Structure 1
């Protein structure tokens, strides 16, 4: 009997967690930001040919992210189609959507955190190391934005990487990535405040997103050594 064929899998349902997550994110955007305001924000880069407006402002990054959505969908489809024979339909779609979704949902937010302020290169780096001190000055938009920075990572990375199928591990990864961002802002003197509250919110957003997607990844195999060992075959 041949052992090369992939094991039989159930119907391809791995797409639905990702699609549900995107629907929830879209609903949150509609609830917190009026549609008219979003459309005006996205139209700003279209009024200028200045490339700095496209790559150096939140409006430009938002529009580029929206324009890249069809490309991201095409890449996910191509990856899933290529992997289907070796992994099976469900695993191929799960892995491909998780990879593309993590990159697509994280890179724009990290890009935004690296935007320099007006005093970049002149104003020395600033630190805020007292927890919860900056929350009162962030405002609703700042808090939501910080929660979303690694939300895609928290929701989708456990579907892709067995070692991340644990909320504490997701929290640790997001916190480490956030610390790296804050250190980079400080070292490059981007005229931004490197705050411990940013780290806390970034990690919390990833952890909450991991809890939302947990029903879909908790039944998947964990990394070796993270769960009970199976009884040896006799």
Structure 2
């Protein structure tokens, strides 16, 4: 039962974000491979922009991070959650670039997505530490 609930939660909590991220956009495409350069540029942005960009990226893989270690003891560790989230995030960024969706692909997005998954895993830690 726990596995089924975790599976549904991971998909239901992650799929809408992935759908949004992989939807074509009439924006400027680009790639940023220098860590923290996009975050530094956000320092001069409006607070609402910072909230949406950072907050949204923290939430993309939050359900994955929160429920993956609950689902399986194989993923019951922050480093394992980080590895899965970073791999998934890198895949999404590569798809954004490769599919030419009019979106900016950034290493900072991978870092923030991964951090969001790890923070969410910390929230559910008491549920999976006993597994």
TM-score > 0.5, shorter chain as reference: yes
Q: Select the structure of larger CA radius of gyration.
A: 1
- C-alpha distance in 2, partners of 1:149/1:118? 21
Kindly report the root-mean-square deviation, in angstroms, between the aligned alpha carbons of the 2 structures: 1.3
Q: Which runs of 5+ in 1 are unaligned?
A: 1-91, 221-234
Query: Which structure has more RCO (C-alpha within 8 Å, separation ≥ 6)?
Result: 2
Instruction: Report what 1:114 is aligned to.
Output: 22
Give deviations 1:28-80, integer Å, cap 9, x for gaps. xxxxxxxxxxxxxxxxxxxxxxxxxxxxxxxxxxxxxxxxxxxxxxxxxxxxx
Instruction: Report what 2:125 is aligned to.
Output: 214
Give the SS at the match of 2:124.
helix
Matches within 5 A, 1:37-76: none
- C-alpha distance in 1, partners of 2:102/2:125? 37
Match of 2:8 among 72, 96, 100: 100
Instruction: Report what 1:161 is aligned to.
Output: 72
- C-alpha distance in 2, partners of 1:193/1:98? 31
Give the SS at the match of 1:205.
helix
1:147 Cα deviation from its structure 2 partner:
0.3
- C-alpha distance in 2, partners of 1:112/1:134? 20
Aligned residue pairs, count: 124
TM-score normalized by the length of structure 2: 0.89
Detail structure 1 runs of 4+ shifted over 6 Å in the superposition: none
- C-alpha distance in 1, partners of 2:56/2:10? 16
